[in-house]
Chain A
Amino acid sequence: MKLFSKYNRVNIIVTIIVLLLSAVLYYFFLEAALIHQLDKNLFIEENEINDFIKENKELPEPTNTKDEQEFYTLYHQTIARNISSIDVYNKKEKEYTTYRQLEFPVTANGKIYKADVRKSQEEAEDMVQLILKITLAVVLILLITLFIINRFVLNKLWKPFNATLQQIKQFDISGKKEVQLQKTNITEFTELNTAVHLMTKKANRDYNEIKNFTENASHEIQTPLAIIQSKIELLSQSENLKEEQMNMIQTISETTNRLSKLNQSLLLLTKIDNRQFEQNSVVNLSFFIQKNINNYEELIHAKEITLTKNIQPDVTITMNETLAETLIINLLTNAIKHNVENGSIHFDLNKTSLFICNTGNIPNVDTAVYFERFKKDSDTAESLGLGLSIVKKICDIYNFNISYNFYKKLHCIKINF
């Protein structure tokens, strides 16, 4: 949920609850105040009646209007003063009307009467209702205003944040494109931008340091290897070498070769890890596969492997060209190397997936670890066990789904783009 929606939801719910509660309280307080006012008026009437009786020694004329009623009933005993709200049926208007009634005893001409003074509560109630309606209208307007303010003002307030977020998303670790942060006068966002700026700078610097380190490590290792290899080659040109010496030279040569391949493969993995292959282009996979099949055609033929293929023409994919080629070559050479005499290889390519199946020995190790580094079947000792982890790594950085299956004596690798 967006921060804005979350905030808005909480804000509006709380506002509604508070406003409704206060409306209810308001209603009761207002009503109480108005009734209090009515009661006061009734007491004034009571005083006026008592004063009238004192002066004139008789009861005043009863009144009977819709708003006010006064009447007297002969009583033989004194009654207690009592004030209450009652509903009285109005015959004329055929409806009940709520009145505030004060009962009190009066004595005139030596007789005890019960005096009833009533005042209509209707007016007061109308007022309360009007006030309530106005209040609710105000609440509604307030809510709409709040909503609009939240929507537009908050959106505007968060703009620098969103701009920064966008920049972080487009952040290029190699530092080719610097992060462009908008200036803002909001302290929190300025702080965020400063932190982002420092962090990206550091990330760029560290990345480049690692990149340089891997390059330098490569340089430092490859050069001694180059010296060893060239000296062995010169040595092997010597005349009159003994058989034993020749064998030794051969072993040294092959070991050096393996060491150098190992170094190169590890470097490649590190470089892929470090995202040093960023330049993407539209790669024609169909063409790449065909080209490499042609390159290894004679090798496939020499091993008497039958190659079948079902390659949809012009299947393109956006990725780094070197990695695309590495991927194809690794898959193909893997299928050739781990194949058997008179075996088969099958390539299947369409717009969504690449499928390669080859015959081979029954796996000796758990096939789930094939994509891990240095995992290999023991019978192919010369293999480095890095080919498939390179393939996996390439698939990972492009979010391709890769799976391996051993089925009906076929090793099958499927890549979904």
Chain B
Amino acid sequence: MKILIVEDEKDLCEAIVTYLKSENYICETATDFKKAIAKIDVHDYDCILLDITIPGGNGLDILKELKANNKMDGVLIISAKNSLDDKISGLTLGADDYLSKPFHLSELSARVAAIIRRKNFEGNNLLKFENIIIDTIAKSVSIKNKMPELTKKEYELLLYFISNKNRVISKNAIAEHLWGDDMEGNNDFIYTHIKNLRKKLSDAGAGDYIKSVYGMGYKFSAS
């Protein structure tokens, strides 16, 4: 899976690359408008992370260029301009998703995974982790032919965990993923959700994959 990161902030770019690389994505970066255009003209990417404010031009113009050339690359806009106009025009121009800065890398990774899943449709709607199989179209989970009844948020939580497997995910990141920006300071609620999900998974015969990491959050891993 090839990803292009168009972002002029080197430090942020590096962090994204480090995180995504360990998910086995191949990452390329472009720090300005010209470099970005040069790259998209030559290569096809599974997903492009696009900052709107970049030196030498507007990120939205890169999006227009892509669409004009009938490129099928998935596009995730990452912008500090949390402005509605950018979001709407971005999505109208054909971006797949929009994420405003600052974001959690785990959120970014989950969104990228979702875009890639949608783009490469055939057979990719099944997500596997050990004996857990998630059908992202039917939004159902099966474990050894058993179908645990998950609530909507539990399903989202499981999908988020699997998209960020073997990673420490902070409680804040989880809270934001599940309820948006507005539940800050209420991470205790997550505990109840985690507890319920853990119980449902183990009842269905999956291993205890959700590990709490002291002080920091949770980690979904088999080992």
Q: Which residues of A contact B (CB under 8 A)?
A: 215, 218-220, 222-223, 225-231, 233-234, 236-237, 243, 246-247, 249-250, 253-254, 256-258, 260-261, 264, 267, 277, 295-296, 298-299, 302-303, 322, 329-330, 333, 336-337, 380-384, 387
Contact = CB atoms under 8 A, between A and B. Distances in A.
B16 A298 contact: no
Interface of A is mostly: helix
A299 B87 CA distance: 28
Contacts of A229: 102-104
Contacts of A219: 53, 80-81
Given A230-B102, A233-B19, 15 more contacts: A222-B102, A223-B12, A227-B11, A227-B12, A228-B102, A229-B103, A230-B16, A233-B15, A233-B105, A257-B172, A260-B102, A267-B82, A299-B186, A337-B185, A380-B185
Interface residues on B, range: 35 or more
28 contacts: A215-B81, A219-B53, A219-B81, A222-B80, A222-B82, A223-B101, A225-B101, A227-B12, A228-B102, A230-B16, A231-B15, A233-B105, A234-B18, A237-B19, A237-B22, A246-B213, A249-B215, A249-B216, A250-B215, A250-B216, A253-B216, A264-B82, A267-B82, A298-B153, A298-B154, A336-B186, A380-B185, A382-B184
A125 B172 CA distance: 106
A333 B106 CA distance: 24
Contacts of B16: 230
Contact of A247 (B151, B184, B192, B215): B215
Interface string B25-52: 0000000000000000000000000000
A48 to B, nearest CB: 108
Given A227-B12, A230-B19, A322 B84 contact: yes
Given A226-B80, A267-B82, A383-B185, A233 B104 contact: yes
A9 B82 CA distance: 58
Given A230-B16, A234-B19, A296 B193 contact: no
B215 A382 contact: no
Nearest to B168: A236
Nearest to B173: A233
A215 B86 CA distance: 11
Interface in B155-181: 167-168, 170, 172-173, 179-181
A299 B104 contact: no
Interface in B165-214: 167-168, 170, 172-173, 179-186, 189, 192-193, 213-214
B152 to A, nearest CB: 7
Given A234-B19, A254-B172, A302-B189, A218 B82 contact: yes
Nearest to A326: B182
Interface in B109-163: 151-154
